[in-house]
Amino acid sequence: MNLLLVVEIFYILLVIVVCLRIIYDTRNSAKALAYLLFAVFVPVWGMIFYFVFGINYRKQAIYSRKLIDDEHRLKKLTERIYAASEANLIAHAEGVTDGKKLVKLLLRENQSPLTSGNKVKLLINGEQKFDELFMAISEARDHIHLEYYIIENDNIGNRLKDLLIKKAREGVKVRLIYDDFGSSSIRGRFVKELRKGGVEAYPFNRVRFLYFANRINYRNHRKIVVIDSRTAFIGGVNISDRYINQPGDEDRQFWRDTHLRIDGPGIFLLQHIFVSDWNFCSGQKLDLDQTYFSDPPAAQGSANVQIAYSGPDSPNSTIMFSFLKAINLAQREILLTTPYLIPDDSVMDALTMAALSGVKVKILIPGISDSKLVSMAASTNYGDLLRAGVEIYRYQKGFVHAKTLTVDGSISIVGTANMDHRSFYLNFEVNAIIYSTEFAEELRRSFYKDIESSSLIQYEEWVSRPFYTKLAERTARLFSPLL
């Protein structure tokens, strides 16, 4: 038997083994078929592509252990969570009538309690968020927990660094988690200065050259701050100068974003998420004890709040489930703002059915995108939605990065998750669900103010675009799971 024949037989056997691996490991049939075709018809490189991008090494190894640890800690709180949630459902039934099924979904899937008596504050853009955040940090007395996807080594990043060091030297315990990919500019001197100043800082998962592509495919996209177990921040605004719109600074693109401050028991699950993530990336073993889960202060507001979170360590995409359930609950109106509209078929079908059923569906997307490829991939969804009667607005004032949803003027979602495959299945994400007509009305007003600076896409003009434009967009969509 000559050497060439041996190599051919070996390669055929290798392709068969890889194909069996793809079939066994890939739950999504469309993705499995794509990987199979790529492995078979693109010699060698097709298989390399699958092993680099197709296998969730972190979920299979590191994150499986993380999930076990997280669930073990959460079980300690389960009885208290269920008891408190049932009591709140009874006591505040009027405030969550429209969202009762969503409440129960998150309770069973995330063990996320329905909390009452929360004061929630809508923060528009970095200007409002950073003033509020820095004030709250400066008033901290016991601990400050921060978790961010992007922290830049710029003016706003250094302001935060100096403030955290100041609080650490005052005796406040300061812990910081940063995504090693998103926060690459603070590696080295910035982080060393934090640690030298008494701040504990760890990357969520260090990006090394080995397994580089697979590691950057799974990102900690969360933005969480918890201060003294009383105040929390969550939303779309990272730590960067780009989020601040300074008067007279017309040379820089306007950045439209939304953040949220929560005061009250709604912060406790955010604290749990932080502690779980901290134990994973630091190797420490903070416990769910009274130090970080003390009794909350007296009710400061009237909002009911739940938290939805998921990631590569989650059995299901709770983020996607919560969006889907909220959309399906709509009877009158859905107002959605997202920078990336590349959802899976279930969400597309839910939005389409809502519009065809007479629900007023309005979606705000960027008119000016930060990624041409992502914008092209998202464009392939617009035709079907427009045909069903969905109104799609392109924000023209700048780049809209906000991730919000309002349903029937009673249910609101503000958080970190985009309406795309990456947020549903690849990233670590977290959203706050607010059951409050007062807050929903404030978010509605913000939405309608934004569409004053937007242009409505007309269906007839959209479907009349040139063939080559549509072909380019459909080609870009093939890469949407990686965008």
Q: What is the pLDDT of residues 331-374, one digit of tens each?
A: 999 999 999 998 888 999 999 999 999 999 999 999 887 667 77
Residue carrying structure tokens 């993530």 = 277
List the structure tokens of 400. Answer: 């809209």
Please identify which of the residues 223, 325, 362, 421 carries the catalytic annotation: 223
Q: Is 372 a catalytic residue?
A: no
Check the CA dihedral 70-210-153-202 and report its sign.
positive
Please identify which of the residues 259, 272, 362, 401 carries the catalytic annotation: 401
Out of 191-200, 245-254, 316-325, least confident range: 245-254
Over 90: is that where the pLDDT of 328 sits?
yes
Residue 159 pLDDT level (bands cut at 50, 70, 90): very high
The phi and psi torsions of 16 (rounded to 5 degrees) equal: -65, -45
Q: What is the pLDDT of residues 253-309, one digit of tens each?
A: 899 999 999 999 889 889 989 998 998 888 888 876 666 776 655 667 889 999 999
What pLDDT was estimated at residue 211? Answer: 46
Q: Is 403 a catalytic residue?
A: yes
Over 80: is that where the pLDDT of 105 sits?
yes
Please identify which of the residues 221, 272, 362, 421 carries the catalytic annotation: 221
Check the CA dihedral 97-99-103-105 and report its sign.
positive
Higher pLDDT, 392 or 71: 392
What DSSP character marks residue 220? B
Angle subtended by helix axes 345-356 and 318-329, to nearest 10: 10
Please identify which of the residues 66, 129, 161, 403 carries the catalytic annotation: 403
Strand 200-203 relative to strand 411-415, pairing: unpaired
User: In Å, what is the CA distance from 402 to each residue of 260, 328, 366?
Assistant: 11, 22, 10
What DSSP character marks residue 366? E
**Nearest Cα residue to 261 out of 355, 115, 68, 131:** 131
Q: What is the pLDDT of residues 45-66, one digit of tens each?
A: 777 777 666 665 444 444 544 5
In whole angstroms, what is the distance from residue 70 CA to residue 273 CA?
8
In whole angstroms, what is the distance from residue 298 CA to residue 233 CA?
19
The phi and psi torsions of 55 (rounded to 5 degrees) equal: -100, 130
In whole angstroms, what is the distance from residue 120 CA to residue 34 CA?
44
Please identify which of the residues 228, 263, 344, 420 carries the catalytic annotation: 228
Strand 360-366 relative to strand 391-395, pairing: parallel
In whole angstroms, what is the distance from residue 122 CA to residue 140 CA?
21
Contact assessment for residue 382 and residue 303, using Cβ atoms and an 8 Å cutoff: no
Q: Is 143 a catalytic residue?
A: no
Q: Is 401 a catalytic residue?
A: yes
**Nearest Cα residue to 279 out of 56, 57, 60, 67:** 67
